Each structure stands twice: as C-alpha cells, then as structure tokens.
Amino acid sequence: MSVNDTSRIASVVLDVDSTLCGLEGIDWLAQQLGDDAAKLVSALTDRAMHGEIPLDSVYGERLSLVRPDRTAISELSLAYVASLAPGAKQAVMRMRDAGVRIVLVSGGLREAILPVAELLGVPEHDVHAVGVQFTSTGGYAEYDVSSPLATAQGKRYVVESLALPKRVLAVGDGATDLAMKPVVDLFAAFTGFVQRDAVVAGADMVFNSFDQLADFVLS
C-alpha cells in the first residue's frame, strides 16, 4: 500500500526500547552491575539491533549475564516511565481518543513494560513482550524461552497473528522492528533516540518525535 494512500490508520504498533522509551531495558539492567557487564551486554544489543547478528543468538546470553530479580525489574519499570519519549503520553492519548488501536510489541521484559502501558492506557492484552519467571524468593529463574519475541523475526510473527484493524502502521528503531514491514501497511523508523541507517533506509517514513507520529496518524 502506498505511503500516499489517504485511508485512515486504524492500528499503531509501537516498539518500546529506544522508541517509546529512551533506553534499552537489558542494557540498563547490565549497567546496574558495573562497567564490564554494561559494555558486554550493550555491544551484543547494538549488533542485534543493527542486524549484524540474530537476536536469537544473544537473547538468552544477555539475560544469563544479568539475571534480573523481581526488585531489578521493578526498578527498570520506573526507569522506563522516567525515560518516556517527550510527548509520547499525549500523542498516544490523542490517537486512542480518535479510536486508533495502540499495541506495544517489544523484545523487552513484559513485567517491566506493563507499568508504561498502564500509564498510557494501553490494556494488558495489547502488550506483547517476553515474560520473566522468578523463584519463590523473587530471584531470577528464567525467561519465556518459547516467546517468538526473543527471536529476530518474532515481531513479524506476533503482529501477523494479531489480525489488527487495517491500516496498520508499525514504528520502531531496530532491525527486529523492520522485520514487521512485510506484514503491516506502513513501517516508520523512529529516530528520536537513536538512528540506525539500515532501518531508516528500509522504512517507508521517518519520525523523530511522537508529535510527528500522531499528526501523521490523525491527518
């Protein structure tokens, strides 16, 4: 479908890390453990988001290094909220009030993202992320290894399975977001926090703010 098609956008799929919020959750968790862990995990994240290595190959490795317990996840949720993109809350509310369905699709950790969704008025059933399991004492046990969102093509499969009202616009900053392009009507690269040239090159359009996004969707 053409970028210039004037029919209404009915659904917006939003990435979370470095799009809706100005941090990469797994990198933030690693930073709390010190410089060595932060550098190692950040390098793996960056290579995966640039598409240099598949997310599948590093997802479990990063979590095994960080092993976030229940307290760390709660602290990450606060960091997500604090780093919400400028104007994002108002933009999401504008779109929701106009009847646009907002769906969060993230390779991040669901338990940390849910408070962000609540703040934005996005119901839990429209939050798709990777679940974490804890021990009886709140320690890290495992992540949902069956989640497609822990893989490079997972967002594509999840969005395709949702049968969202059309037209569908997906927005994100990384290679795993660009993977959604074949199953949505339009894909926008978000550059408000980070710009990845390959993602921009593959996108139908580019937004650097949520005001731009909402203005386009509601135009």
15 as an active site residue: the answer is yes
Catalytic site includes residue 173: no
**Distance between CA atoms of 88 and 132, rounded to whole angstroms?**
26
Q: Of all residues in the chain, what percent are helix, strand and coil, respectively (each to 5)?
A: 45, 20, 35
Closest CA to 82 of 23, 13, 24: 23
Catalytic residue among 5, 15, 97, 185: 15
Is the separation of the CB atoms in 85 and 192 below 8 Å?
A: yes
* Nearest one of 91, 120, 115, 108 to 208, comparing CA atoms: 91
Give the integer Cα–Cα distance in Å for 32 and 83. 16
Active site residues: 15, 17
